[in-house]
Amino acid sequence: MHTARINLRLQKTVTVIAVALFIIKIIAWYLTRSVAVLTDALESTVNVTAGFISLFGLYIAAKPRDANHPYGHGKAEFLSAAVEGVLMMIAGVFIVYEAIHHFIYPRELKKLDYGIFLVAVTAVINYITGSYCIKTGKQNDSLALVASGKHLQSDTWSTLGIMAGLALIWFTRLQWIDSLVAAGFSLFIIYTGYRIVRSSVAGIMDEADKALLQRMVALLNANRRVNWIDLHNLRIIKYGNVLHMDCHLTVPWYLNVKEAHAEMDALSLLIQKEFGESVELFIHADACLSFSCSICQKMECTVRQHPFEKRIEWTIENISRNTRHTNEDNTGMQQTI
């Protein structure tokens, strides 16, 4: 739960910063009357709202597991990130409407130099905060923090674009550019919101994380022990920053309970060393059978029934299936458990 508390503390800071930047952007809009600056301010409204939603989500996620939630409250992060993404998409649609309205009924722009300076300050602060959120979120496997960081960084890029648009208006006096800039960056905001919603839904539905599985497979292949004859039925589920993993490990049939447990402990320590303390691992030990001999690399085995032929390289596809590997895997034949 240590990482959950770190995530919660960081999100509190992000929320306070979002409120301060929103106030600065409102001042910039009041001075300039630019719809592009209004676009930035409206996105900051979403930042503030989403910040409080993410804060609540991380507060729930940080709660210890209880009788009603035996796997903890980590899924709350996915829900808060989904709400944040939806809010971004709604804000983007509203900004498109405002840009079109401003194009048809233009307003005179004022004090663009002040506006450029103020939004530049917010861009720098947003980028630094967003980068730190993404870095911490990835380290702690917090989708809510990653979503907040991406949101802040998308705000930074849109702010830079708006600054460029304001500078162009300042030099050319073509005020219709204001609407064009606002509409263009609103589409970027909508796309970023969609990606956050897509990631959230994947987490809620326990969709397989290919990047995580590939990292796991590489780790297991690189550190494979001679008694790890086979690994299959590997499944990983994310609950916020906690990973729940279970698998079947085939070991020599003649190992006693203590020896088999030592092999499972070695597998657990390997994974926890790589992925941190927020991993819950459940391993089911299988005894090897005669068809396992051809892929078993334990050369000193005194009860071998068949000679070793080749090592089966573990992949995402073959360790995820609920079947034991044999030397016929390349032909699609496997022994079902």
Rounded Cα–Cα distance for residues 197 and 86 (Å) = 7
Q: How confident is the model at residue 144 (pLDDT cuts 50, 70, 90)?
A: low
Mark which of 204, 223, 249 sits at the end of a domain. 204
Whether residues 234 and 171 share a domain: the answer is: no
CA 331 to chain centre: 36
Q: What is the pLDDT of residue 326?
A: 67
- In this structure, are 192 and 256 located in the same domain? no
Which of the listed ranges 13-22, 73-82, 182-191, 240-249 does the model predict with the highest average pLDDT? 13-22
Q: What is the rounded distance in angstroms from the CA atom of residue 255 to the CA atom of residue 287?
A: 9
- Cβ atoms of 53 and 86 within 8 Å: the answer is no
pLDDT above 90 (res 96) = no
Question: Are 107 and 152 contained in the same domain?
Answer: yes
Judged by average pLDDT, the poorest of 22-31, 216-225, 253-262 is 22-31
Q: Say which range, 50-54, 85-89, 222-226, has the weakest mean pLDDT.
A: 50-54
Identify whether residues 187 and 217 lie together within a single domain. Answer: no
Give the span between the Cα atoms of 28 and 37, in whole angstroms: 7
Q: Are residues 197 and 229 located together in one domain of the fold?
A: no
- Domain total for the chain? 2
Report the run of H or E that residue 143 belongs to, with start and end: helix 143-172
Q: Is the pLDDT of residue 112 over 70?
A: yes
Structural element, H or E, at residue 232:
strand 230-239
Q: Note the pLDDT tens digit of each residue in 74-85.
A: 566 677 777 778
Range of the domain at 319: 210-336
Instruction: Determine the pLDDT at residue 71.
Output: 58
Q: Give yes or no: residues 128 and 72 share one domain.
A: yes
Question: Is the separation of the CB atoms in 92 and 187 below 8 Å?
Answer: yes
pLDDT recorded at residue 337: 45
Residues 143, 60 share a domain: yes
- State the Cα angle at 43 between 40 and 48, rounded to 5°: 125
- pLDDT tens sequence across 265-302: 999 888 888 876 567 788 889 999 888 898 998 888 88
Q: Which whole number is the average pLDDT over 222-243? A: 82
256 SS3 class: coil
Tokens standing for residue 281: 């691992």
Question: Residue 334 pLDDT more than 60?
Answer: no
Res 31 pLDDT > 60: yes
Q: Is the pLDDT of residue 250 over 60?
A: yes
> Strand 279-287's sheet: what is its strand order?
230-239, 242-251, 279-287
Question: Do 38 and 115 sit in the same domain of this protein?
Answer: yes
CATH of the domain at 283: 3.30.70.1350
Amino acid identity of 28?
A
Q: In this structure, are 286 and 216 located in the same domain? A: yes
pTM of the full structure: 0.54
Handedness of CA 55, 57, 59, 61 (dihedral sign): negative
Q: 305 and 196 share a domain? A: no
Same domain, 105 and 196: yes
Q: Please tell me the distance from the alpha carbon of residue 17 to that of residue 48, in angstroms, as a whole number.
A: 9
Residue given tokens 């592009």 in the structure block: 36
pLDDT for residue 111: 79
Q: What DSSP string runs through 279-336?
A: EEEEEEEEE--GGGGGG---TT-SS--S---------HHHHHSSEE--TTGGGT--EE
Provide the pLDDT confidence category of residue 241 given band limits of 50, 70 and 90: low
Whether residues 293 and 224 fall in one domain: yes
pLDDT(23) > 60: yes
Distance of CA 6 to the CA centre of its chain: 16
Question: What's the mean pLDDT when you consider all of the chain?
Answer: 78
How open is the CA angle 61-22-178, to the nearest 5 degrees? 125
Long-range contacts of 299-306 (CB under 8 A, 24+ apart): 301/252, 303/254
Return the pLDDT at 140: 75
